[in-house]
Structure 1
Amino acid sequence: MLKQQLRAISSLLSSITLIGICVGMTSTLLSLRAAIENFGTLTTGVIMSAYFIGFLFGTTRAPKDIRRVGYIRAFGGLAALAAATILIQAIWVDPTVWFIMRFLTGFAISAIFVIVESWLNTMADNKNRGTLLSVYLVLIYGGLVAGQLILGVADPSGFIAFAIAALLINLALIPILISVTVEPTTHEAKKVPILSLLRLVPLGIVNAFIMQACYAMFYGIGPMYAIYIGLSVGEVSLFMASFILGGMLAQAPIGLLSDRFDRRVIMAVCAGLGSVMALILSQLGASVVWLIYLCVCLFGASVLPLYSLGMAHTNDYLEKDQMVGATGAIIKVGGVGSIIGAPAVAALMQFGAVNYFFLLIMMLTIIVCLYSLYRVTRRAKADEQLTSSYAMLNPSQTSDELLTSLVDEHEYQVALAGQESETEDTKKESSPV
């Protein structure tokens, strides 16, 4: 059964792998090119944050647009938009143009994730949904790693690297446009206010905000930091690839541990190890490249699973009808953290605090570690933790099931009122006169 489903969605998985390669290339490519063009770290941080602004906007707006035009046509249009924005950045090397294009790229990529993950959830059932999503996420991480390696042999100062990224997106159109899979449908979900979630599961909100800020810092400013300490362009690509590879390899083992033990303890251990790795990395220079790669890999293995751990921990304390809405709220909070993260660390580096890049990340992960341990002392472990088992989630990633919670509350209430009205009419018709 699983093999048949994998064959049925092979075209979909092929498309998203190519998209993952492109996403892995563009973030590092733009950071390197910005350094070459002397944009400055603060300007670069603001440009990089535009992607997350667009991503957050896409998660709130794209589901409505997709419902109007359909999933296949939406995928085609969004992929074309993403390819065009990348090419425009190669033609007009200007901070303002890059900010606008980076915003549009984030919007397009977030909407593409909506389409792909909705498709996967439609094809899956309760017995194999976790397996299918795991395959999907491994391909995403594999694509991100491959994107870094491709960038290592392409000159970021020229046009070719941008052209390769745009070409990959266009190639991603082919498998999904010839797919015969039925388009997925969407369902409404119960909305959960962020303040209510903060009172109910504060660790989930704090973890999402801090970790997404850390991810934005590393993806957006990490390549510039690597250049500052003396790494070449090829070494920078391996630097970034090592981080992603570590997270890819550690996701599943750490997830299994979190299903068996208190997730908050696992979160504290991961954040603590991430802090140690960040401290070591802050003291390393280009003379020990192999050690940098090893530590960055361990750093990624420690911090990348934290977002998924926090999501699973949040669901441990929620009712079934709250989970989708709560995830939407966490996506919003994490999006705000992503928007703030890159410009914040870039501002520090702009004013001479370059050496504090990893030290700042260390401080943030220490906060997650200590707060996780504090929450252990304030509340008992969830009684039915295994019922909301850990699922690998890519940071800043969305799905249609998650995003239905972001649809206007007014629309949901109108639909609910209509259903109640129909029920009342049925009762009147069936009642004796």
Structure 2
Amino acid sequence: MVRQILPLTALLLGSAFLLFAGGVNGLILPVRGEIEGFSAASLGLLGTGWAIGYVAGCLLTPGIVARVGHVRAFGVMCALAAISVLLSLLLISPWFWIPLRAISGFCFAGAAMVVESWLNERAEPSTRGKIFGAYTMINLAASTAGQMVLVLGDPAGYLFFVLAAIVYCAALLPTALSASATPSPLVSAKLDVPLLWRNSPVAVFAVFMVGISNAAFGTLAAVYAARIGLDVPAIALFASLPILAGAVAQVPVGALSDKFDRRIVLIGVTIVAIAADATFLLFAPAGEIAALATASLFGAAVFAMYPVIIAHASDHAAPGSFIQVSGGILLIFGIGSIIGPTVAGYSMSALGDPSLFVVTGIAHLCMLLFAVFRIVTTPALPDSQKAAFKPTPLGRNTTPETANLATNETPEPEISTMDQKAE
């Protein structure tokens, strides 16, 4: 295992730096915004801006890489991300932070796609699964470490903004110094909603609702935690533990989804999420232990949904179309991620902080009812036609290249006009 991973150390290190900086950046903004007295509505728009930038990055990065190459594109993404963090420190206003957060989302998606395409180029079919697993584990650990580092200082100062910028710059060094051959052109994400709907209505509807729910919680969890009186270390745990719980939950949930109708498993996980929503709404757990336990239950459910949805969509996809299907599902998730933080932020401002879980609860209830309707009206797919479940990074950390790295398929990349002239 070590022998297989060692040649990829530079790429994995660059990815770890990227995710660490993203973890710091993603948590310091809502925490600092709460200290500055920003409204929940404006803080929710930070998540909306990030999702818009992230979707744009998934769509536009292949063209940028085709024009300037992988190394230059990655360097530009890391530099712009660092600039956006430092400008957020200089321009402390939500109306500056929202477009700056969009720039961060764009750069984050672009940089991740470059790293993943490079890893995919270096991965042999026999080692691809191990490399993808190591990549996923390293990214999860780095992102969590980036969030937890907030316990080491005062979020009211400049330290964490500067730290995120430094680590974003450090992320470009391993790839800039790597002697690896330049990989093939990136995979382009395509959104064909009618085709995806014919392929699997449950996957399309569910991933849209999951985008609304997960992005709302991911953006505003720190704000909610601060407003119920948790200190900074507990706020960091409130944001991090749900992600870790979701990653762990993928193992048993995936095993169940391979054994039973994935729609039934999705319903079961959704019921757990609704139970967590109801706990926050009805009992308002404000003590540290109760709040963290409920948040972990919430995360174990909601962050295990995305890979089940991807697996269900893949079960119904035409042979050889997994990457195209997963790319389209990702973009629908992104559209939901644009809507969720906006609605939740304005709801928290107008109706109070617990309304965050009104928004997530409505999304989960809609998903539950639609899945039940489809089970009643449409027979389950035979087990012989089901693809194997694959643990998947969380939707907000997934790009079209993630699917390429996670599978043995090698789709034909789009060739730009410049490439055609070069040929």
Which TM-score applies when normalising by structure 2? 0.90
Q: 1:187 to 1:60 in 2, by over 3 A?
A: closer
Which residue of structure 2 aligns with residue 59 of structure 1?
58
Q: Which amino acid aligns with 2:38?
A: F
Q: Residues 23-422 of structure 1 correspond to what in structure 2 (within 5 A)?
A: 23-186=22-185, 193-285=192-284, 287-383=286-382, 384-396=384-396, 397-400=398-401
Moved more, 134-143 or 371-380: 371-380
- More displaced stretch, 61-70 vs 385-394: 385-394
Give the ranges of 4+ consecutive aligned residues of structure 1 lying more than 6 Å apart after TM superposition. 187-190, 403-408
Q: 1:290 to 1:174 in 2, by over 3 A?
A: same
Aligned match of 1:11 = 10
Q: 1:405 to 1:97 in 2, by over 3 A?
A: farther
- Secondary structure of 1:9's partner? helix
Contact 2:191 2:331 in 1 (8 A): no
**Does structure 2 retain, via aligned residues, the 8 Å contact 1:192–1:322?**
no
Please identify the structure whose Cα radius of gyration is greater: 1
Q: Which amino acid aligns with 1:394?
A: L
What is the deviation of 1:314?
0.3
Cα displacement (A) at 1:385: 4.2
Taking the aligned partners of 2:71 and 2:356, their CA distance within structure 1 comes to: 42
CA 286–264 in structure 1, closer or farther in 2 if over 3 Å, else same: closer
What is the root-mean-square deviation of aligned Cα atoms in Å? 2.6
Per-residue Cα deviation, 1:249-297 (whole angstroms, up to 9, x for no partner): 2223322332232211111111111111222133455652112212211
Task: Give the letter aligned to residue 113 of structure 2.
Answer: V
For 1:199-224, what per-residue CA distance to the aligned partner results, in whole angstroms no more than 9, with x for missing partners? 33111111111111111111111111
Cα distance change, pair 187–93 in 1 and its aligned pair in 2 (3 A): closer
What 5-or-longer segments of structure 2 have no aligned partner?
405-409
Is contact 1:255-1:392 (8 Å) kept?
Answer: no
1:372 Cα deviation (Å)?
Answer: 2.4
Q: What is the TM-score with the length of structure 1 in the denominator?
A: 0.88
What is the identity percentage for the equivalent residue pairs of Structure 1 and Structure 2?
26
Aligned-partner Cα distance in 2 for 1:114–1:189: 10
Shift of 1:382: 2.6
**Of 376-385 and 153-162, the range deviating more from structure 2:** 376-385
The number of residues matched between the two structures is 413
Q: Give yes or no for contact 2:81–2:168 (8 Å, CA) kept in 1.
A: yes
- CA displacement at 1:10 relative to structure 2: 1.6
CA contact (8 A) 1:254 1:305 kept: yes
Match of 1:424 in 2: none
